[in-house]
Amino acid sequence: MEWWQSVILGVVEGVTEFLPISSTGHLTVVESLMGLPINDTSVTAYTAITQIGAMIASIVYFFSDIVRIAGAWFSGLANKDKRGPDFHLGWAIIAGFLVTAVIAFALKDLIEGPLRSLWFVVGGLLVWSVVMFCADRFGKQDRGEHTITWKDGALLGLIQCFSLVPGVSRSGATISGALFLGIDRVTATRMSFFLGIPTLVAAGSYQAISAASDIAAPGGVGWTATIIGIVVSFAIAYLSIAWLLKFVATNNFTAFVIYRIVLAAIIVVLLLTNVVSPI
């Protein structure tokens, strides 16, 4: 992979990781347009590892929240009288992460194999657009962050697993699930970040360790390109986080639903005209 290709992919990752439009779907399409083999193990590893940059951006952005929640969780473990909303929120994040981690690890071979097809990206984009639209329209949105329990976290972790299908979008899955649970739009978006931090850092770290030889192998992506992608995705993702939180405070998700449908249509045209290969 050339350095400029990694810069472009880093920008794509940074912009799309936290928006409910599927970062994996976008990366798969762009990688295919660049002529990169999207089912190659080093390319698959690169896609997962560059997410670390976006996750570091979210850690930096939400650092005060992370410290507050972690402090409340540890205090609650030591003293039952201090078990307030942040203590329960901490358990929700842990429960969600564990559920996602177990299922993702069990389906690892499927995720890195057949599901990499662009036809799955199209399906994920279209099907989850309907889910997002319904969640945004019919969710009560009368619950704030202080109402979230470990059961909510476990359910959101389960729903987050739908994002293992490229095109669904991790943030799109968790936000939709939270909206269906009656959680308000801003809190749902924040929960997608809180659940995403441990999930994607774990996934990226696992790939960095397990696929190190694939990244560095002759003909592989290479660590220089991978590091460039991480750095670029960090910078762009930080700006993307700030924009998204401001956007959802006063807008619904209709624009994202429309974008997903248009993107799916464009991918179908590219596939039918053989501009890109499905795998």
Domain assignment present for residue 103? The answer is yes
SS3 state of residue 143: strand
Domain assignment present for residue 93? The answer is yes
User: What is the pLDDT, as a whole number, of residue 245?
Assistant: 94
- Of 236, 241, 203, the closest CA to residue 45 belongs to 203
Q: Which residue range forms the structural domain that includes residue 37? A: 3-272
**pLDDT tens-digit series, residues 171-208:** 999 999 999 999 999 999 999 999 989 988 887 788 77
pTM listed for this prediction: 0.89
Question: How far, in Å, are 29, 121, 250 from residue 158 at the CA level?
Answer: 26, 20, 28
C-alpha to C-alpha distance for 62 and 46, rounded to whole angstroms: 25
Domain assignment present for residue 278? The answer is no
Domain assignment present for residue 149? The answer is yes
CB 252 within 8 A of CB 29: no
Domain assignment present for residue 160? The answer is yes
User: What is the pLDDT, as a whole number, of residue 204?
Assistant: 75
For residues 249-269, b (16+ Cβ closer than 10 Å) or e, as one string? eeebbeebbebbeebbeebee
Domain assignment present for residue 152? The answer is yes
Question: How far, in Å, are 50, 166, 231 from residue 6 at the CA level?
Answer: 10, 20, 10
User: What is the pLDDT, as a whole number, of residue 87?
Assistant: 96
Q: Is the pLDDT of residue 111 over 80?
A: no
**pLDDT tens-digit series, residues 41-90:** 888 888 878 888 998 999 999 999 999 999 999 999 999 998 999 999 99
Domains of the chain: total: 1
The answer for residues whose C-beta is within 8 angstroms of residue 24's C-beta and 6 or more apart is: 47, 121, 163, 166, 167
- Report residue 253's pLDDT band, with 50, 70 and 90 as the boundaries: very high
Domain assignment present for residue 197? The answer is yes
**pLDDT tens-digit series, residues 212-248:** 778 888 888 888 999 999 999 999 999 999 999 999 9
